[in-house]
Structure 1
Amino acid sequence: MGKNSKDNKEIIYLDTIELYSSLAQIDHGLIESIQSGKKNSKEAGSSTKKSGETDAGLFKLIQGSLQLATTNTHSNLSSEQELVNITFNDYQLNRLLNKLGVGKLNNNSKQGDLTIKNGEFEIYDFSSLANLSNETFENFINLIMESADSNNEESNDFKKGLDIIKKYGQVMTDLLPETVLLKVNNSISFLKTSCLRMSNSQLQLLSGSKRKIHVLGVIENEVSNEDRKLESLFEEIGDNPGLITKFVPDFNDFLLIQSQIAQKKDKLVKPVAVYF
């Protein structure tokens, strides 16, 4: 392969706001991005003005046809701009990694530091679990249980387990809306679904993969090292109502630990990019 094959990446997540914020603090990367956007916007505006001058004196029916053509031109420009932005963003990610130094980032572990976590991984998409609550899925599962000639006790145990899964997915989706969790070694990254380059169904393809994944992000916090019990969370609030605002993050820690997604002192990461 070519000289720069090590820079070839399959990027599955990229937060461009965080990317350009980091670059702006290093080498004015944000300014370059804005200048590129202004240039393309000006070209699109020029095209619109020219069309307006041409059809100003024509019959309304013809004017309508020309207006439709102008709309299509704008659509093409938008698609082209999106392609340019993706290419530009991928280049800027490599640029940021080169400037930061990947080897140095591997050793960063303090809160507020940019770091790189890499290794085997697990992805948790709670919205998929929450979607198991739809009636079609339940009818399908019931049909399978009937076909398997399961006794009542087995069928009830299965339905109870399924109900727990659905409710767990719904609670986590409510607590972490539009979020996918990525577990890599002793870190958990909170991925915004709007920055993913894969659909929910495509994410399922990564389940069980043995490839090493890389996460570039900022260490924001760590899972609480306190012993958490659900009863104690409510008791503490009863004794001290001022702890109400602290309930959600504490409850998140409790659920992540109880479901064995997280362990105490795991790093909580706000990701900039995730890639293979």
Structure 2
Amino acid sequence: MSKESKESKEIIYLDTIELYSSLAQIDHGLIESIQSGKQKSESQENSTKGAGDIETSLFKLVEGGIQLELTNSQSNLSSEQELVNITFNDYQLDRLLNKLGVGKLNNNSKQGDPTIENGEFEIYDFSSLASLSNDSFGSFINLLMEFANDQKDVEDDKEAKDIKTGLDILKKYGQVMTDLLPETVLLKVGNSISFLKTGCLRMSNSQLQLLSGSIRKIHVLGVIENEISNEKRELESLFEKIGDNPSLITKFVPDFIDFLLIQSQIAQKNDKLIKPVAVYF
């Protein structure tokens, strides 16, 4: 077993569908997982059905007590199953890392191949920026600016207007990126950008903010799907191309995302775009 798999990991993202798909192509690990899960489910279903057949007209209070006990038992089984699944998934990640060979992946740069990126990182949660548009946040910022300016009229203060303009740009940028990349968090590691599905994260949006500025090195296991285009990205040229050739309209969204990522200095040309399987420390 490699040194990598023996070390304790803090897993912050795990896409189990991609995990088991990779294992299934290597040694049919997905089939074993489905059979085990099915057997557990059938056992619980039979137990529930047997308890539901209890009926009596003489001891209604007793019957109520039995049903209550059954409900609690089902809840405990569900929690136990969730714990087992998490432990099992973590173990399968170690298996996949061992079978792929961590050292062999670091220099892999071909599209469609698995890779491991590691190093310093930045996390971009656009939904948090979009949430700045609510009225309570705007009112709070106004109060802060009034306090900082000794309660002067912030409408006549140039610095206050500049701050408002900057905040408005942030809010609109967050809203646009949330619309283009719904339920997605971007992770920048070196010359790569990973698109994390929020449903596979093991941290809430607020907990993700705790990672900002962390000095720890992060690891991303995934597949290189594409890269930021080498073409010159200008907003005007994107619209002109569609005007000259309407068939390019389906290409506009990915090109527009490239443009926004480059303009906001999140991405650079030739950065690898990764579909992640796991992200961990």
TM-score tier (shorter): over 0.9
Conserved in 2, the CA contact under 8 Å of 1:7 and 1:94?
no
1:199 CA drift (Å): 0.4
What TM-score, normalized to structure 2?
0.93
Q: Distance in 1 between matches of 2:98 and 2:174?
A: 39
1:36 CA drift (Å): 1.7
Residues 120 and 164 of structure 1: CA distance in aligned 2, closer, same or farther (over 3 Å): same
| Alignment correspondent of 2:217 | 212
Query: What residue identity is the alignment partner of 2:273?
Result: L
Q: 1:227 aligns with which of 214, 224, 232?
A: 232
Query: What residue identity is the alignment partner of 1:57?
Result: T
Q: Find the residue that maps to 1:104 and give its secondary structure.
A: helix
Q: Distance in 1 between matches of 2:196 and 2:218?
A: 14
Q: Find the residue that maps to 1:158 and give its secondary structure.
A: helix
| Alignment correspondent of 1:257 | 262
Which deviates more, 152-161 or 69-78? 69-78
Identical positions, percent: 79
Query: What residue identity is the alignment partner of 2:36?
Result: S
Query: What residue identity is the alignment partner of 1:140?
Result: F
Query: What residue identity is the alignment partner of 1:153?
Result: K
| Alignment correspondent of 2:250 | 245
1:63 CA drift (Å): 3.7
Query: What residue identity is the alignment partner of 2:211?
Result: L
| Alignment correspondent of 2:160 | 155
Q: Distance in 1 between matches of 2:110 and 2:241?
A: 29
Conserved in 1, the CA contact under 8 Å of 2:5 and 2:94?
no
Query: What residue identity is the alignment partner of 2:158?
Result: E
| Count of residue correspondences | 273
Matches within 5 A, 1:136-175: 136-149=136-149, 152-175=157-180
Whether 2:274 is the aligned partner of 1:269: answer yes
Q: Distance in 2 between matches of 1:241 and 1:68?
A: 63
Query: What residue identity is the alignment partner of 1:196?
Result: L
Query: What residue identity is the alignment partner of 1:159?
Result: K
| Alignment correspondent of 2:105 | 105
Residues 267 and 17 of structure 1: CA distance in aligned 2, closer, same or farther (over 3 Å): same
Q: Distance in 2 between matches of 1:116 and 1:4?
A: 12
| Alignment correspondent of 1:190 | 195
Conserved in 2, the CA contact under 8 Å of 1:191 and 1:270?
yes
Residues 184 and 4 of structure 1: CA distance in aligned 2, closer, same or farther (over 3 Å): closer
1:66 CA drift (Å): 2.9
Query: What residue identity is the alignment partner of 1:157?
Result: D
| Alignment correspondent of 1:126 | 126
Q: Find the residue that maps to 1:23 and give its secondary structure.
A: helix
Q: Distance in 2 between matches of 1:4 and 1:16?
A: 20
Conserved in 1, the CA contact under 8 Å of 2:187 and 2:196?
yes
**Structure 1 residue ranges without an equivalent (≥5):** none
1:78 CA drift (Å): 1.0
1:62 CA drift (Å): 4.6
Q: Find the residue that maps to 2:202 and give its secondary structure.
A: coil
| Alignment correspondent of 1:56 | 55
Whether 2:199 is the aligned partner of 1:201: answer no
| Alignment correspondent of 2:92 | 92
Q: Distance in 1 between matches of 2:200 and 2:63?
A: 40
Q: Distance in 2 between matches of 1:200 and 1:255?
A: 22
